[in-house]
Amino acid sequence: MSNSMISIKGIADGVYINVEGNDYNKIKEALEKKINENIDFFRGSKLIDIVGEELTLDIKTEIMLLLKYKYDFVLKNEDKTLIREIEKDESNKISKMPNVVEEGMTKFVHGTLRSGQEVSYNGNIVIIGDVNPGAVLRAKGNIIVLGLLRGVAHAGIGGNKNAIVAAYNLLPTQLRIDDIIVRPPEGDSYYKYPEIARIIEDKVIIEPYLPNK
Amino acid sequence: MENGKKGTSIVVTSGKGGVGKTTTSANIGTGLAMQGYSVVVLDADIGLRNLDVVMGLENRIVYDIVDVVEKNCKLKQALIKDKRHENLYLLPAAQTKDKTAVSSSQMIELVNELKKNYDYIIIDSPAGIEQGFQYSIAGADEAIIVTTPEVSAVRDADRVIGILEANEIYQPKLIVNRIRQDMVRRGDMMNIEDILDILAVKLLGVVPDDENVVISTNKGEPVVMDEKALSGKAYRNIVRRIIGEEVEFLNLEETNQGKFSKMMKLLFGR
């Protein structure tokens, strides 16, 4: 088995990689060999897609992560699973990242998040729907819920004390901004106005959001 | 803390879902703590955690069992102290993971660690007999089987007792939950003898079907603390049997009492 397992095609926008077989280790070995033959050319390339008859999603994801992190490939693929994988990977690294928030990066989620579902993002999160108890939101930036927030929301991960959490109905199981964790007082009642939570002098303050202000 | 304790780990399991494992775990754990023992209740139902809700501790969770086995935090950090009892702790399950997040060997290590510092470790097992069940029983010294007086639940309990024996957990004890003496008397429900006939294990207790259990579960306050509720008394008796006391079964007396208090309720509105 030589390099015939792998063929790399370059087009104007980036490169396609063709893969034969479904053995990750063999593919990895062949691919790395091929890339290393021409490392300067490949480093930082745009990857459009990886294709192969026997290729599974798992292997594809693994290869993409390998290319992204080891060889600085830029991924163009829109595959949802992969993006989620990468985000998961990045969210693990959130705490190690420098204290910068790109205000512009926002993830929109349409629909209700149910118990056990988790959205992590390296920027802001906007949920157009409800967040049920048992669901978790983790954002480096702000969290906005256009609905009822009953789950756990963690904004400002990694040192952003300016982050806010806002919801039409703010009834979280637990609220975290940066490293401050609060839970609602026992027997907290339903408040029917939108509310915003933010840190003021190292305390999480929740106040109603009044639209006419 | 007092290192070198030799605690006992007890898994609460059933095979079938919905028979009251979590409620039983919460009540036994709380009951043991009320008796002065140091207790950890461990929610092993990763992905479908409930024990925190039943104990009213959901909003205090920061770390969970998966964080502990993955060493993202120290064991002590993940233990949540109960609101009412100083010596009662909850180790919550993770909700955003699944059963593959923990292995049997990790569980054994974890439970052994807990046993050094606490008198009782109550493990709330998930329903089923798959991986979640397997790692739940891995660290257990003893087992409590929960069943309801239905053929399906008893059948599953029987299967689970067999698996426990295969895993060298012998002589599990049985709790028959949600029994309705009025239906038993009419012959519409399996009675305790029928169930014991099939399962041939030692009876630890019988808990009547009681609306107080539902009320207390929804409030996050285990019914064992309710002095008035019959089910609370049943759980207190179960706890006393676990710690080795001889306590008579309420059985028939229970019915009369139940009937009597029902009449009282009708007559005097309680």
| CA separation for the pair A153, A46 (Å, rounded) | 35
Measured CB to CB, residues of chain A less than 8 Å from chain B are: 115-118, 133-134, 136, 152, 173-174, 181, 183-184
A180: nearest CA partner in chain B: B62
Task: Report the Cα B177 to chain-centroid distance in Å.
Answer: 11
Residue A104 and residue A144 in one domain: yes
| B chain contacts of residue A133, beta-carbon cutoff 8 Å | 58
* CA B41/CA B90 separation, integer angstroms: 5
Predicted confidence at residue A26, as pLDDT, reads 84
Write the residue in A116, A181, A184 that is nearest to B47 by C-beta. A116
pLDDT for the residue numbered A15: 81
Averaged over successive runs of 10 residues, the pLDDT of chain B (270 residues) comes to 78 96 98 97 96 95 96 96 97 94 96 97 97 96 97 95 94 96 92 93 95 94 94 96 91 50 58
- In tens, the pLDDT along A40-60 reads 877 777 888 888 878 877 788
Within a domain: residue A196? yes
Give a yes or no: residue A87 inside a domain. no
Residues A127 and A196 in one domain: yes
B223 secondary structure, DSSP code = G
Q: Which among A173, A175, A179, A180 is the top mutation candidate for probing chain B, defined by the most B β-carbons within 10 Å of its own β-carbon? A: A173
Q: Are residues A169 and A108 in the same domain?
A: yes
Give me the pLDDT at residue A35, please.
83
Residues A72 and A127 in one domain: no
Nearest residue on chain A to B83, alpha-carbon basis: A186
Kindly state whether B99 is in contact with chain A, defined as any CB-CB distance less than 8 angstroms.
Answer: no
The answer to the question of residue A84 being in a domain is: no
Please report the pLDDT score of residue A103 as a whole number.
66
Q: Which domain holds residue A158?
A: 99-208
Given this model, what pLDDT does residue A87 score?
57
The vertex-B101 CA angle with B70 and A75, nearest 5°, equals 85
Give the strands of the sheet with A74-75, arranged side by side: A6-11, A14-19, A46-51, A74-75
Determine the length of chain B.
270
Question: Which regions of chain B does DSSP assign to beta strands (E)?
Answer: 8-13, 39-43, 80-81, 88-91, 120-124, 142-147, 173-179, 202-208
Q: Which of these three, A77, A111, A130, is where a domain ends? A: A77
Q: Give the integer Cα–Cα distance in Å for A21 and A191.
A: 58
B220 in contact with chain A, both atoms CB, cutoff 8 A: no
- Asked if B47 reaches chain A (Cβ–Cβ under 8 Å), the answer is yes
- A110 in a structural domain: yes
Q: Is residue A202 domain-shared with residue A112, that is, in the same domain?
A: yes
User: Choosing among B66, B67, B96, which should be mutated to test the A contact, i.e. which has the most A CBs within 10 A?
Assistant: B96
Residues A31 and A106 in one domain: no
Residue among A90, A137, A92 at smallest CA distance from A113 = A137
The CATH number covering residue A196 comes to: 2.160.20.70
- CA–CA distance, B83 with B74 (Å, rounded to integer): 21
**What residues pair up with B31 in beta bridges, in sequence order?**
none
d(CA B166, CA A119): 41
Best residue of B52, B54, B58, B59 to probe chain A, by most A CBs closer than 10 Å: B59
d(CA A164, CA A172) in angstroms, rounded, equals 13
Q: Are residues A66 and A111 in the same domain?
A: no
Rounded Cα gap, residues B98 and A105, in angstroms = 30
Least CB-CB distance to B96: which of A116, A173, A174? A116
Q: What is the mean pLDDT of residues A108-121?
A: 94
**Cβ contacts of B96 on chain A, cutoff 8 Å:** 116-118, 136
The CA distance from A147 to A131, in Å, is: 8
B61: nearest CA in chain A? A174
**Cβ within 8 Å, pair A134-B95:** yes
In terms of Cβ atoms closer than 10 Å to its own Cβ (0-12, 13-18, 19+), residue B173 is middle
Q: Would you state the pLDDT for residue A32? A: 84
Residue A81 has pLDDT above 70, yes or no: no
Q: Which residue in the set A115, A181, A183 is minimally distant from B95, CB to CB?
A: A115
Say whether residue B84 is in contact with chain A using an 8 A CB cutoff.
no
Find, in chain B, the residue whose alpha carbon is nearest to that of A133: B58
With a CB cutoff of 8 Å and minimum separation 6, the contacts of B39 are: B29, B32, B33, B87, B88, B89, B118, B119, B120, B121, B122
* A48 located within any domain: yes
The whole-number pLDDT of residue A180 equals: 95
Closest CA to B137 of B164, B118, B158: B164
For residue A137, the distance in angstroms to the closest alpha carbon of chain B comes to 11
The token pair at B119 is: 């008198």
Q: How many domains does chain A have?
A: 2
Choose the final residue of a domain: A44, A77, A110.
A77
How far, CA to CA in Å, does B80 sit from each of A60, B68, B111, B112, B161? 41, 13, 16, 18, 31
DSSP per-residue string spanning B172-203: -EEEEEEE-HHHHHHT-S--HHHHHHHH--EE
Residues A116, A62, single domain; the answer is no
Tokens 């009540």: give the residue: B27
3-state SS, one letter per residue, for A65-121 = HHHHHHCCCEECCCCHHHHHHHHHHHHHHHHHCCCCCCCCCEEEEECCECCCCEEEE
Cβ contacts of residue A19 below 8 Å, gap of 6+? Answer: A5, A6, A27, A31, A50, A51, A52, A55, A59, A63
pLDDT of residue B1: 47
Q: Greatest CA span in chain A, whole angstroms?
A: 70
CB-based contact B231:B208 (threshold 8 Å): yes
The helix/strand/coil state of B149 is coil
Q: Is residue A128 part of a domain?
A: yes
Q: What is the pLDDT of residue B266?
A: 61
> What confidence category does residue A84 fall into, taking pLDDT thresholds of 50, 70 and 90?
low
Give the closest of B48, B59, B96 to A184, CB-based: B59
DSSP, collapsed to helix, strand or coil, labels residue B91 as strand
- Bridge-partner residues for B122, per DSSP? B10, B41
Q: How far is B107 from chain A (nearest CA, A)?
A: 22
Q: Pick A173's closest partner by Cβ from B49, B59, B96.
A: B59
Residues, chain A:
213
pTM of the model: 0.72
> How far, rounded to the nearest angstrom, does the alpha carbon of residue A150 sit from its chain's CA centroid?
21
pLDDT (mean) for A77-91: 55
pLDDT of residue A37: 82
pLDDT tens digit sequence for A24-45? 888 888 888 888 888 887 777 7
What is residue B135's three-state secondary structure? helix
Res A204: pLDDT? 92
Percent of chain A exceeding pLDDT 90 equals 42
Examine residue A163 and state whether it is found in any structural domain, yes or no.
Answer: yes
Separation in Å, CA of A133 to nearest CA in chain B: 9
Statement to judge: residues A22 and A116 lie in one domain: no
Let me know whether A187 and A107 are in one domain: yes
Question: Does A44 share its domain with A124?
Answer: no
State how far residue B205 is from chain A, nearest Cα, in angstroms: 33
Which residues make beta-bridge pairs with A189? Answer: none
The fraction of chain A above a pLDDT of 70, given in percent, is 82
- CB pair distance less than 8 Å for A181 and B62: yes
Partner-chain residue, chosen from A116, A117, A173, that has the shortest CB–CB distance to B58 = A173
What integer pLDDT is reported at residue B252 of this predicted model?
A: 41
Q: Do B49 and A134 touch (CB under 8 A)?
A: yes
Mean pLDDT taken over chain A: 82
pLDDT tier at A2, thresholds 50, 70, 90: very low
Residues A142 and A192 in one domain: yes
Tell me whether residue A194 is in a domain. Answer: yes
For the domain spanning B8-268, the CATH number is 3.40.50.300
Amino acid residing at B25: S
CA distance A15 to chain B (A): 35
pLDDT at B243: 96
pLDDT of residue B206: 95
Distance CA B197, CA B175 (A): 14
pLDDT of residue B253: 47
Shortest CA gap A7–chain B (Å):
36
